[in-house]
A and B are shown apart, each in its own frame.
Chain A
């Protein structure tokens, strides 16, 4: 069965901390994505990657960076966490272009105090 695994289910950090969110997929998918989900705003794309060492900005990249050193792993980095980055973070992967279905992880609920 296909699987996208996010390293933490819940995370509590302090303002100014550097935060790493890790995502691993076991499906040999080329594409990986990071979304955040907030009540009333829906899913918003932060960054995505179509290949190893490649990254593209999504709709809301400010305050975030990403790393994809290996095909199966896509990391989201909050360089200096702020309270407005408190959110549910969802990682996803897919085989092809944006007309292919996404496989999502279970999410990381991040609270920045």
Chain B
């Protein structure tokens, strides 16, 4: 069964304290790995798509990387406005040849000033 596990569940950082969020996955025939940001009371907002191992994407203080088993979302010198829940989702092939998108439960990031 396809699985996406995010760790840690929650992370508290001081402003400027860099860290990484992890998304490990098991899926047949990876089609894409997605990172989303979700603010309280709002819908998730797309950040990145990664398609193959070794790929990296950057946006401001965020950098997403992908291996064959996991993805990391690196946050460099975070600011309080980076506080949010970060969701990972994986698109892969399931039995019968159809595709399926599976979400992880998210990492809640809090950045204190």
Contact = CB atoms under 8 A, between A and B. Distances in A.
A107 B43 contact: yes
Contacts of B99: 97-99
B31 A98 contact: yes
Given A42-B103, A42-B105, A42-B106, A99 B43 contact: no
A97 B101 CA distance: 10
Q: How large is the interface on A (under 10, 10 to 19, 20 to 34, 35 or more residues)?
A: 20 to 34
A106 interface: yes
Interface residues of B, number: 22
A21 B5 CA distance: 30
A26 B43 CA distance: 16
B62 to A, nearest CB: 15
Given A98-B31, A99-B31, A99-B32, A43 B46 contact: no
Interface in A36-93: 40-45, 90, 92
Given A42-B106, A43-B103, A98 B91 contact: yes
Nearest to B104: A42
Contacts of B103: 42-44
The 6 closest A-B pairs by CB, nearest first: A104-B43, A99-B32, A99-B31, A42-B105, A98-B99, A43-B103
Interface of A: 4, 40-45, 90, 92, 97-99, 101-107, 109
9 contacts: A42-B106, A43-B44, A43-B87, A90-B44, A97-B31, A97-B91, A102-B36, A102-B46, A107-B43
